[in-house]
Homo-oligomer: A and B are copies of this chain.
Amino acid sequence: MKPEWIAVDRRPAVPHAWAMRGATVLDERPVTGTLDAAIGDWLAAGARDIVQCGDPAEMTPVPAAPGKLAPRPGGNLNGGRLWTLPGLTQSAPVDLMFGAETTIAGFLSLNPNWDGVICLPGAQTHWAQISADEVVSFQSFLSLEILAALGATGVPALDAEFAEAVADTMSRPERLAQRLNAARAGARLGDLADGAVADRMLGALLGAELAAARPYWLGQQIALIGPAEMTAPYAAALQTQAAMVTVAPDARMTLAGLTAAWRRLPGQVSSS
């Protein structure tokens, strides 16, 4: 089958491309190397448009409706027209989002009239407050990047150790750096296995994050969108707070957001 257009998520963690006909996926692959090399065969097969997110040249200030952002023309790439979705920016507190706005747009396209808070875990985790299809405000945290930077290598069990660490830094967030140190000291003393170190460090980081984001999630509908290994600890941490969460797969949501953006291209008449 001949691809009609190409969807691309340029975010560094998960660069990925899909060969599309309307909303139907014909093929998909990770993007390694340059974009034109990665999708050259699809362009040669006749794909006319490339719609990408995650590498914006322009930013739109919040409040903004992610489902109404206009893809910006970015010239020609081996015969295809390149379109790039803008990211979101916020002035107070200063924050940036690029790529996640498209994931949010996809989730909202599949869940019309959904109000609440969307949490998108990643090296940089975004919490976005959604009302009337708009991102009203958002805030971002470096918790998982800090965890990786400190060299926690074990796989967390998300067990009682994790829950205790969450509870402790939620009630005493100033102890975060001290608890991170204590977990590593326990490992060096041979008292803690790698997995338990990861549980304590991750629990401490997410406890502090939940304390800071409390005004966002308390009493709200919560959607968690991300890779399973990243949504699982957030779901477990929120569970200790008796919060209800919906978990959604990020690639499917992002593709839905890119597809909705493709339908908004000027003069677009879809074949399907």
Contacts and interface: CB of A to CB of B under 8 A. Distances in A.
Interface of A: 59, 89, 93-96, 124, 139-143, 145-146, 149-150, 172-182, 184-186, 188-189, 191, 205, 208-209, 211-213
A175 B96 contact: no
Nearest to A92: B182
A188 B96 contact: yes
Given A149-B150, A211-B174, A141 B181 contact: yes
A222 to B, nearest CB: 18
Contact of A181 (B124, B185, B186): B124
For A172, A181, A188, which residue has the most chain B Cβ atoms within 10 angstroms? A181
B178 A141 contact: yes
Contacts of A173: 173-174, 176, 208
Nearest to A127: B178
Contacts of A182: 93-95, 140
Given A89-B189, A96-B185, A142 B180 contact: yes
A140 B178 contact: yes
Given A146-B146, A177-B205, A177-B208, 7 more contacts: A94-B182, A139-B181, A141-B178, A141-B181, A142-B184, A177-B212, A178-B212
Given A124-B181, A208-B176, A191 B140 contact: no
A208 B191 CA distance: 27
Q: Rank and list the top 7 A-B pairs by shortest CB-CB distance, nearest first.
A: A149-B149, A173-B174, A174-B211, A141-B177, A174-B212, A140-B181, A96-B185
B142 A185 contact: no
A124 B95 CA distance: 29
B185 A94 contact: yes
A179 B172 CA distance: 17
A181 B150 contact: no
B96 A142 contact: no
Nearest to A172: B212
Contact of A176 (B93, B95, B176, B191): B176
Nearest to A59: B189
Given A95-B181, A181-B141, A175 B212 contact: yes
26 contacts: A94-B189, A94-B191, A95-B182, A95-B185, A96-B185, A96-B189, A124-B181, A139-B178, A140-B178, A141-B177, A142-B150, A142-B177, A142-B181, A142-B184, A143-B177, A146-B149, A146-B180, A173-B174, A174-B208, A174-B209, A174-B211, A174-B212, A177-B205, A177-B209, A177-B212, A178-B212
